[in-house]
Each structure stands twice: as C-alpha cells, then as structure tokens.
Structure 1
Amino acid sequence: MIPLWQGLAAMVRLGLIHFWRQALPNNEGLLPLLQQEAEALLETPELKSLDAKALFGRLDKHVHHAQQETDDSADFSHDPLFALISDYDLSLNDALLLALLGEAERSHVVTLAIHQLQSPTSATHPMGHLIESWLQSLTSSSHTDFSVLSGLQHPLVTHGFVRVFGNGPAPLKQWATSPECWAVLTQSLPLWPGTTQLEPLQSERKLGLDLLPHKVQNQLAAMVERFQQPGTSALVLRGLPLSGRRLLTLAIADRLGLNAIAVDDTHWQENALIRHIAPYGDWLPVLTPAIGPGETYRPVLPDAFCKTPRKLIIHMGTDGAIECPGAMEWTLPLPNRPQRQTLWEHFLGDTQLAERASMALLSGPSIQVLAQRAQSLAAQQSEPVHHRHLVHARLQHGAEQLKRLAQPDTRAIPRDAIVLPPLVESELEQLVARTEQRESLWPGLGATLTQTQTTGVRALFVGESGTGKTLAANFIATRLGSPLYRVDLASVMNKYIGESEKNLSAVLDRAAANDVVLLFDEADSLFGRRTDGKETGERFANMLTHFLLTRLEHHPGIVVLTSNNRERIDAAFTRRLDFIIEFPLPGFEARQQLWQSHLGQRGPGEEVYALLASYCDFTGGQLRNVVLTAATCAENGPITTDHLLTGLQAEYRKLGRNLPNKLLQIKYLKEQNNVISQTLIDEQADE
C-alpha cells in the first residue's frame, strides 16, 4: 500500500497526459517523462498497469473511505493527506486539485506541462480554467464539483491551504499551494519554517521529569487525559522562568505522540496555514506571548470541528489574563524543600552543602544549572565545591535579564564589617530567621493564618542617609547566601502607560525565579502615598502604587525597601510589611566602633576615636567620606590626626557647617599608630 499522496501525484501525471492528448498534439519529450514519474510513484506492477480512469476509480474509493471513516480507512491511519480529506470532507476532485498544486511545486516536469497547457500565457501556476477543464476530463460525467466562480469559497482556500491570486477574471486567476504545505502532507518536512523544535536543555536530558516537582509528576497522567478531551483546546502553563514549563511540555507531547514546536506568537496569530497544518505534521504548537499586567491574551485557535485533534500549549508568566474557549490552566509550583535538598545532594554529593543550598526557593532545572556552574568554578580553582561557589553561581544565574532593570551588588558583608545598635541587630536576626523558616513556619498554625500563607518576606529599612540601611541589606543577602539586586528606577520607570508595570513585573518575576534579595533603594518615589488623583499624572501614579501593592503581597521572595522617612510610604504598604526596622543615627559607642572599623590598622588610635565619637555626629556614610579623604592625603601611609582634620573639614564644608572647635583637640592627642603603621606599609609593599 503506497501513501495516498503518491497515488494522487501519479494521478496528476496520468491526468495531465490524458488531458494533453485531448487538447494538444502529442509531445514525445514531455509526456514520456510524466509517464516515467507516474510509474515511479506507483511502485508496484499492479498499480503501474492502471490507466488514468482506473486509477481515478481506485482513488475515489480511498477518498470515500476517508469521508465515511470506514474500516478500510485504517490503512491510512497515519497518512496526513488522508486525515486532511477526512477533516474537511474533501472530494476526490478537491484532493486532486491540492495534489496538482503541490506537485507543481515539487516536479519541474509537472510545472513544464502546466506551462505548455496554458501557453501562450506566462502564468507559472495553474489557472482556474485549466484546473476546471483538467478535472472535467477525468470524470465520466459532464459535471465536476469544482467551479472557478466559487473558487474563493473553496474549503482549501478559506483554511489557507490554497491561495488564489491575480487581477484578471476568475478563469485567469492562478491557484497555488505553498511548497511547505505540500511537504507536510507528503511527510517530508520535519519542521515548519520559522518554528523551532522544542528540546530539553543539555543539562536536563539525564534527569528529565525528575527535575519537576513531585506534585506535577504525580498529576501528569491526569493532566494529559484531560488535555486530550474533545472540549479542551489549549493548555496554559503558568510559571516563572526556568520553572520547568519546557520539560512538562515535552513530557505531554511525548505522551500524545507529537513533536513540540515553538511558534512565534505573531506568526501564529497572523498565519492561518500554520494553525491548520500543524496537526498533519504531528506538531504540538507552543506559544510564549509577552503579556504584561492588566493585559488579556486572545489566541487564534485552529478549527475545532476537525476530527484530527488540534491542541495548543501556551507558556505564560504570572501576569495577564487569557481568553481562550476550552483552555485549561496549570501553574507550576516549586519543588518542596526535601525534594530540592535531594536534587542538590544528587548533583553535589555533599549532604551539608545540599541542606544549606536547599533554603533557596529554586526550580529543579535551576538547581541543576547552578550545581554545574558551582562545580565548574570549583574545578577552575582546584577546590572541592564550597558554599561560596554556589553564591557566585547564583549571582551569574539569570543575570543577563535582571541586569536590564536592576544592578547586582556583589559585596559580601560579614558581621564585623557592619556596626549596628543592639535593637537593629536583633531585628535583622529575626528577619534572617523568618526568611530561613519561610516554608517550615506554617504547619500547625490556625486555619485563618494558613489561608494567607506565603514565602515572601517584605521589610522596610528607615533612617537618615548613611545610617547603614543599604549595607544592612547586603548583610542580609550575605547571611542567606543570596544575590542582592538593586532595582534601577531609571530603567524601570517609563513615560508610556503600562510600561512601568511591565518592567516591574519583569524584574519581580526574574527575582522570584532566582530567589534573589531585591532592594528598592530610596523607595519613596515608587511606594509614596497616593493622592486624590485629580491630575492625570497622579491617577497613573496611583495605579502604579496599586499594582505594586498587589505584586509585592504575592511576591514569593525577599524584598527590602529603604526610605529616609516612613511617613512618605503609603500606609497600605506599611500594613503589608513583615518588618519595619528603624536605623537611628549612631550614638557614641556606635560612632567609636565606626571610626575603628573604617580606619583599621592605619588609624591614630582609640583616644582619637573617642574624641571623634564625642564631638562629631556624622553618620556612617559621612564618616566613610572623611576616612577616604584622609587616606588619600596619607598616600598609603599611616593616617594621622592632620589627615583626619582635612577630611573632617571637607565633609563639614559639604554640609554647609563649621568644624566644631573641640575637634581641633585631636591634633594634640598622642598618635598611637604612627610608628607601627610604617611596618604595615612595608609589609603591604612587599606583597
């Protein structure tokens, strides 16, 4: 049994020979070539012995089986052309029309014959009058169901398989199909142009489904069964980047016996042919539309009446709605902590490191990528994998997308590098503890509380500039082993309506996917109090504030806001914050510690620090400027009181204030480190 398309293609050639002999003188060059091609297509001696009329009758029976879905149709159960005939209830003439147009694209001999039959016109494709006459010559009656007058309403035309073009009257219009369309129907096109085969990443090939959450693995069979139901048109898979949507899609396609292909959304929406041809290529189209907050996606669906299943998978993020009749939605969760720990241990082979790494809310594919990067970093340094390698790998993970809207802060801040009042230190420790327990906190708590269960932690750091708010955010990230990204408000804010929300949504989604600490420094501009909205700009600012309220409330990661004044932050935000930590101006003891921690071994000694702490009320940020100016004056040598006075005077001038007279006393204090500092300088020079 040869494929149906081969029989039709042979019939096209035999039909052209038959028509030629009726209309034109015999051609000893072209007709034998058509005969040779027809015999090659028919393959068997029994079929080769058939003339045009006999082959027409046999093909008519096959088409009838397709229309009626009789038992004999099982012989062509995997034949795409047979399925097309069945789906659109095509007649044999319809099938021959499509075969003629397709073979005109495939065979130069067929093309030459058509050109000769239409001579002297220069048309390169069959015209309506030729098609009608040719089909008429193949039937035993004087009537054919094809008419050039009704051509534009032909099902092959209305569904995009065939196009009719030209400016003349209907008989002179040309008919054509695309080479790709015919290639699909002849099972010779593995991939539609402009699409890409969806394949697992190289790193995902070994474990595959084991990278997905156990919940997803357990419900996969039921999901596929529901997706196969006639009333289900599409499956919407929502999730963050690298959440496993690709792996799940591939698993579904495998169970359906289809090949998942990624199709550009614009191409899908505007090109009817790809929508209708996909089932005949055994393709499962996968769309990934860019939908922002408040937007609705309306995919164009293929014909629902066809017998061949037409399924569609749509990958979406957390934002946007979808209007799609018959669509089912599924949001991919993250693996729970025991599964994450198992995955880390599988890739790293270190139980303790896996336990610590599993605190990060990451997907299975992300864990695999990070583990491999950490191993690569460790191998470059000829070391076993350490926690710092994981931290560095996480900083690189997804950085390309995050850096568009946020800037990484790579500083690792140990405890001794930050000076904190006891109350602030205690509150920061509570913040760290809450974050470390954000998954395990909920079991056993009351039903009301568990209804608002979230892994997100939101904190506001309030204090004057230079009091250590940003440094404290770095300290939190260092303690958690998480990257810190500072949101770049200049990149996020956009004058066009809705674009700022899209940018914020993108940075929050990417931050959630990588479980980074997100810092909104000087957050007043984004999280400020709402107004009565009388002006247009105020109304849009209020809309942005409302959007942020909703997104932050459901954000699964750690967000830190900083502000100089909590009163500037909208009250609705403060009600939703888990922590509000006040960073006071440093007192005497804190200032003394700050001078010591900034000057280190090059400083003039404790007596000087005590005097500075007594009479200089600078914040940590201002104090830093003083020390940098003094260190510049010292030229890598010991920092003397004269150098410090230079720095103090410069900083007071910046503030528009006079240097307190009592600070001049430091010139008369004994500089304890002036002698021993020279030894330190010599050692550094040797290095």
Structure 2
Amino acid sequence: MIFYLQHRSQLSGNSPKQVFETFPFLSSYWEELQHRFPEIEQTEQFLNILRTECDRWEESCQEWLPLRAVRQQASLGAEAVACLVLAGLTEQDARFGELFSVLQQPLVQRRPTLGLLQQLMQMEQGPSDAWNLCLPLLDQGLLVATNRDTPRAEWAVRVPSAVWSALRGEYAKEPIPGTKYHPSGDFAPIRELILAPEQRAQLSELVLLLSSNRTRAVVVRGLAGSPRIEILGSISREMGRGLFEVDGPLLADEERRRLIGPIAILINCIPALSFELGTGESVDIPPLGGYAGPIGLSLGSEGGLAGPLMDRSVTVHLQPETPEQRLRYWQRELKDHSAEDLHPIAKGFTLSGGHIRKAARVAATHAALDGRLKINSTDVRQATRNLGQRLEFLAARLEDGGDWAHLVVPASTERALHDLQTRCRHREQLATLLSRQLPGGLNRGVRALFEGPSGTGKTLAARILASELGLDLYRVDLAALMNKYIGETEKNLSRVLSRAEDLDVILLLDEGDSLMSRRTDVKTANDRYANLETNYLLQRLETYVGIVLVTTNIGGAIDSAFRRRIDAIVRFHLPQAEERWRLWQLHLPPRHAVQPDELETIALRYEMTGAQIRNASVQAALSAMQGSRGAIKVADLRNAIQSEYRKAGAAVPVEEIRSAECQEHRLSGFLSVIS
C-alpha cells in the first residue's frame, strides 16, 4: 500500500515523502518496516525478501497460524492472501477507510473495490487479475461484496468481522450468533468418557478413520440431554482440534452459513451441527465454504440427513445411560456436594449425562440455600423441575396429589395401580434383565392406559403415582396438539414426547381417544391423514423410553393395536355406595355438622362421581361460610348435591322416604284438587 502511494506521488511529480504528510498514520507502519528490514530500499527487492522471510517464519513456527491454515486448506496463492489482507485493513485500522475513500474518488467508498485491488496488485511481480484472485475468497466466505448491483470493478469488498477476528487469532466464545467455540481442553479424552468400553473403542477407531480421510462425517444420535456434543468434542480433542458448535437452523441463514467453513479453518476446529428434528423432517447438509475436513452432526432419534457428505458418514447411536453410568456422572459433577449415598438418586432419576451436569449445579445451590453441604432427592427434583421449563411450552405441570390414601377406588383398581407403580419403579432393571431374551427387546419405557367415566379419579391417580415415584407430572391435551396442516400434528407429538422422555418426567396424555381411536377405512383424504397421525403415535409410543399415561373416557373406542402395546390397563369405575361414603368422609372438613346416619343416607341415595362429590363439598362449605354458620349442615350438602345434579342435567332423586300417613295425606290433597 505504501509503495503504491509513493509510486502515485512520483507520477504526479511529488516526493515519496508526500505520502506521509497526506496520511500521517502510515509513518508508524513504515518505521516498523524499516526497523525490521533496514537494508531494503528498492520496492521489488523489499517485496521479494518480505515474502521469503514470511515463508521461512511460517515453516519454522510450530504454533497455529490462521492465515497459513486458510491458505493451505483453501489452496490460496500469495496474491490472493494479499487481497484478503488488504480488504481487511479497514477492520484493523479505521484510518485506512479514509485512505481508500481518497484513492477511489469520485466513488464514495471506505472499503477497497476490485478496481483498487487491481491497481494495488500491479505492484507485485506482474499484472494480476483482482477478480480471479478474489473470486475464491468470495465463494468461500472470506470476502463479501457489499454492492453487487454495481459494475464489477466498483464492487467494494470487506472481510466479515468474525473472519477477521479469527484471522487475528482471536477466539471468541460465540464467533457468530448461534455458534459456540470450545477449545480442545474443554473435553475429556475418549478413554475417560462415561460410555460402555466397546463404544469407547469404536470412537477411537473412528478417530483413525477421520484422520485418514476415509470418513468425512460423524453422526451422533441420542436423547437431547445425552453427551452428543461431548463425544464430538472428545473426537476433536484426539485429532488436536477444538469444536465449533453450530445451531442447525443457522444453515437457513445464507450469510451466516457462509462463515462456518472459514471460521472453522481459522480457529482450528471441527464444525459440529446440532439439530432437533421431528418425524418426517430432513436436512440437506451443504458444503461449508472452503472447509474440507471432518464434520460432526448431533441429532435425536428422529429426522434424516441428506447430501453428498452423508455417503461418507458413520453414525453412533447412544443408548440411555445405565444406573452405574449415571452414578459416575453425579460423582464427577458434585464432588464435595455429594449426597451421603448417591445410589438412590442415580437409580431414581433416569437423567441423561448432559442434564445431570446441569441438575447437579442447581441441586447444590438448593442445598446451600438450606445451609447444607450434601444434596438430597428433594434438591435434585427441584433442579430437574428447572430443566422441565423446556416442556412447559407444550404441556402443563400438575402438582403432587398426595398419597394413595387420598384415592378412593375399587380394590381391583387399587391393585392395578400398585402393580403399575412397581413396574415403573423397577422398569430399568426389568429391561436389563429381559431385553436380550425377549423377541424385539424391551426398553425402559412404561405405557399405561387409564380408562373409565369422567370424574372417577384418573388424573388424581396419575398425580399420586408421580408423587410416589418422586417424578414430575406433565399433562398434554392430545386434542390441542392436532393441527389441520398435514404433518404438523406428528411434529407436535414428536416435540412433546422427545422432551418428556429426555427430562425423565411422567407424561399424561389426556383425552387419548382423540388420536387413539380405531383407524377407519380410507374413504377421503381426511381419513388417510387421520390414520397417518394414529400410526405415528402408535409407533412412537412403542419406542418411548419414559413413563406415559393415557386417559380416556371411552375405553371401547381405543384402537386394538394400541391396547396390544400398552403395558398396563387400569380401569376406573363409578363409585359404589361404600366408596361414595369414603369419598364424602375424605372431602368434607373435619368439623362438619352432618350426622353419620344422614351422611350414610346421602352416600346410598345419590350416585355421584368423585369429582362431583368434591365439587359438592366445596359448594357446601361456601354456603356455610355465607350463612355465617361455620360448620356444614345437611341442608348445605343437599343444596350442593342438587346443584351438581342440575349441572349434569340429571333428575334429583327423592330426598326421603315419607311415612305412610304423610303419603296418604298428600294423596288426599291431590285428589281433592283434581275432583
């Protein structure tokens, strides 16, 4: 640049020193060059020796040099590199913007144009075509043309800020929005990963395949909380590189997508693209400008990947962690905050490794708030509840329902619920014991169907089951997930099921008959798509590894294929007189004024569900409060019962059996009226 300005000054009849009077800031650059190369006076000699010295220094330098890396991997010549550096001068020193503006008059442009670069490159050994030099830089995202609607010679080019920072050797934590930079030291060696020995051996072999370029891509599939990124990071570490984590949706932004490859080269990282795809969704993996090294891909069990890169890919499937592996995660993360015995926590909370890392920190904070050094199960449950915020956009968390003493159901229903609790509590051990022996295997998922009339305690039973197991319960209205647009219902189901099994919560699918009803003969397009939604839910529940409870008021409408795949069916019935009496005892406040014989009569006469009894108790208490009586009396209770019957559109039974004399008197009165 200085030689070019001095040459122009001489052509206009001025002294070369005029350059430093016009642009004083260049003096410091010139003095530094003269200090390093005092014997150089002629332009051509200086440029040749400068290039030779730079090449010699690069060869001897053992440190990572971003400019050397991009030149080698992108196959750039010295002149193309010179164009790249000249275009980035404004990023380095804003005063170069003023200089470019003067040189390019009458154009108003503070960045160099291709025309100016053409003139600058003529100072090299021979004439060079700036367009051919800059074309690969533009294609690979190292340069950006800001005004492509103008003649090509007037195109102003710039180096994206993120690229220039990487060229300077700056390692930002977030080089561009939607990305993260992880140095190799952030990850453990493969031998220290909490995986099965055979899977660690597989990863070690994979490193050799990637290093020899026999494989280009590694696809790691698993739950969202599984150590997918950690595994890709360990592979990067073994190859002497960092990891450049990229949020998959960023690929849709062409401007930012073009920066992935150049930045990955400059910061010596393997790019890792993360996706959370739903059923039927697919992503085409495009080339990453100029980057020809290995690529990591992280995604769940659903969705597909396409593109030429997939022809040279290897997929690693991560199975849910075993209790022993979870114990190691807890021990590693908690250190001094470990509980007295972590085994119950590792066994009771089937969290993935990534979620354990987050939950451990939050659980330790909860323990500290209570003045304790050691965590307990309550701390862990509070921590997992924070993780569940990702699910609350799709489902509603229900509060605990107490214990089984709060549920009044027939003995057969009670036995079925206790059997279900046992199955849920030992689901992991059962899968380990039988998975290899049973045809088709057995996962740790539990699928249960609660069927029975409305108000008979299905939701309460689900809340109590969650409380007994120490897990959170989230309710999803299946009807609300249904969407009129093709494929959207399946995507909604995919999101809620994937997040629920990943976060180790119990999922309650309310009104299951809306999607699980018998499939129909295809007569219209609507029938075809409704059957597709049912088929998807049928297949997804079969592979579900969490606990899912489905409720329905119309058990007979459930498709038989669903029933075959359900692990437990719990039938709820309308309460009989004895059960209704227990329900009244449970819901009425302790100091009510209803006599035992009156309560027995009410339980015998009024056939109500548990929900109706609860509502009537609340209404009776409110009536007593309004009448300033305090205690509930039988009249309050009868009025509340009549209100519940009217709400249901049913006739209220006769209140009492009157004496024969009273009946005869009423009959005589009636006959006298009509005679």
TM-score interval (norm. to shorter): 0.7 to 0.9
CA distance in 1, matches of 2:266, 2:242: 11
Structure 2 vs 1, CA of residues 542 and 438 (structure 1 numbering), >3 Å: closer, same or farther?
A: same
The equivalent of 1:468 in structure 2 is 457
SS in 2 for 1:449: coil
User: Unaligned stretches of 5+ in structure 2?
Assistant: 659-675
SS in 1 for 2:447: strand
Q: How does 1:599-678 map to 2 (within 5 A)?
A: 599=588, 601-603=590-592, 604-635=594-625, 637-661=630-654, 663=656
Residue identity in the other structure for 2:582: Q
- Deviations along 1:625-648, one digit per CA (max 9) or x if unpaired, are 222222222327333322222222
Structure 2 vs 1, CA of residues 25 and 627 (structure 1 numbering), >3 Å: closer, same or farther?
A: same
1:94 to 80, 85, 93: 80
Structure 2 vs 1, CA of residues 13 and 570 (structure 1 numbering), >3 Å: closer, same or farther?
A: farther
The equivalent of 1:529 in structure 2 is 518
CA distance in 2, matches of 1:113, 1:624: 82
The equivalent of 1:263 in structure 2 is 246
The equivalent of 1:17 in structure 2 is 6
Are 1:562 and 2:551 an aligned pair? yes
SS in 1 for 2:483: coil
CA contact (8 A) 2:118 2:128 kept: no
1:56 to 35, 47, 70: 47
Offset, 1:463: 0.8
SS in 2 for 1:362: coil
SS in 1 for 2:298: strand
Residue identity in the other structure for 1:56: L
CA distance in 2, matches of 1:430, 1:541: 34
- Deviations along 1:314-350, one digit per CA (max 9) or x if unpaired, are 3322321111413333333332112334555674644
Are 1:161 and 2:134 an aligned pair? no
CA contact (8 A) 1:180 1:189 kept: no
CA distance in 2, matches of 1:189, 1:382: 39
CA distance in 2, matches of 1:541, 1:206: 48
CA distance in 1, matches of 2:638, 2:156: 91
CA contact (8 A) 2:479 2:511 kept: no
Q: How does 1:69-148 map to 2 (within 5 A)?
A: 73=59, 75=61, 78-107=64-93, 110-139=96-125, 143-146=126-129
2:407 to 398, 418, 437: 418
CA distance in 2, matches of 1:188, 1:443: 49
The equivalent of 1:459 in structure 2 is 448
SS in 2 for 1:451: coil
More displaced stretch, 542-551 vs 77-86: 77-86
CA contact (8 A) 2:190 2:235 kept: no
Residue identity in the other structure for 1:286: A
Are 1:331 and 2:322 an aligned pair? no
2:303 to 292, 300, 320: 320
Residue identity in the other structure for 2:654: N
The equivalent of 1:553 in structure 2 is 542
How many residues were matched structurally? 638
SS in 2 for 1:315: strand
CA distance in 2, matches of 1:43, 1:336: 66
The equivalent of 1:282 in structure 2 is 268
SS in 2 for 1:465: coil
- Deviations along 1:45-87, one digit per CA (max 9) or x if unpaired, are 4466364212332355579x79xxxx98454773222233333
- Deviations along 1:160-180, one digit per CA (max 9) or x if unpaired, are 323454656544544444454
SS in 2 for 1:26: coil
The equivalent of 1:245 in structure 2 is 228
Offset, 1:453: 1.6
- Deviations along 1:603-628, one digit per CA (max 9) or x if unpaired, are 53543343333332222122222222
Offset, 1:393: 3.9
- Deviations along 1:249-279, one digit per CA (max 9) or x if unpaired, are 4434444443434434454451324323421
Offset, 1:652: 2.3
Structure 2 vs 1, CA of residues 411 and 442 (structure 1 numbering), >3 Å: closer, same or farther?
A: closer
SS in 1 for 2:344: helix
CA contact (8 A) 2:244 2:264 kept: no
CA contact (8 A) 2:225 2:502 kept: yes
Give the alignment's TM-score, normalised by structure 2.
0.83
Offset, 1:557: 0.5
SS in 2 for 1:601: coil
Offset, 1:656: 3.0
CA distance in 1, matches of 2:270, 2:39: 38
- Deviations along 1:497-517, one digit per CA (max 9) or x if unpaired, are 333222221211221122111
Structure 2 vs 1, CA of residues 580 and 13 (structure 1 numbering), >3 Å: closer, same or farther?
A: same
Residue identity in the other structure for 1:297: V
**Percent of aligned pairs with the same amino acid:** 30
CA contact (8 A) 1:435 1:457 kept: yes
Residue identity in the other structure for 1:55: F
Structure 2 vs 1, CA of residues 24 and 543 (structure 1 numbering), >3 Å: closer, same or farther?
A: farther
RMSD: 3.7
CA contact (8 A) 1:531 1:542 kept: yes
CA distance in 1, matches of 2:601, 2:403: 27
Residue identity in the other structure for 1:302: L
More displaced stretch, 396-405 vs 253-262: 253-262
CA distance in 2, matches of 1:560, 1:228: 47
Structure 2 vs 1, CA of residues 492 and 20 (structure 1 numbering), >3 Å: closer, same or farther?
A: farther
Structure 2 vs 1, CA of residues 550 and 15 (structure 1 numbering), >3 Å: closer, same or farther?
A: same
Structure 2 vs 1, CA of residues 627 and 76 (structure 1 numbering), >3 Å: closer, same or farther?
A: closer
Q: How does 1:375-524 map to 2 (within 5 A)?
A: 375-381=364-370, 387-394=377-384, 396-443=385-432, 445=434, 447=436, 449=438, 451-489=440-478, 491-524=480-513
Structure 2 vs 1, CA of residues 510 and 178 (structure 1 numbering), >3 Å: closer, same or farther?
A: closer
The equivalent of 2:169 in structure 1 is 187
Give the alignment's TM-score, normalised by structure 1.
0.82
SS in 2 for 1:335: coil
SS in 2 for 1:398: helix
SS in 2 for 1:520: strand
Offset, 1:212: 4.3
CA distance in 2, matches of 1:273, 1:410: 47
SS in 1 for 2:15: coil
Residue identity in the other structure for 1:553: E
Structure 2 vs 1, CA of residues 605 and 223 (structure 1 numbering), >3 Å: closer, same or farther?
A: farther
CA distance in 2, matches of 1:551, 1:34: 67
CA distance in 2, matches of 1:206, 1:146: 48
Offset, 1:560: 0.6
CA distance in 2, matches of 1:658, 1:74: 97
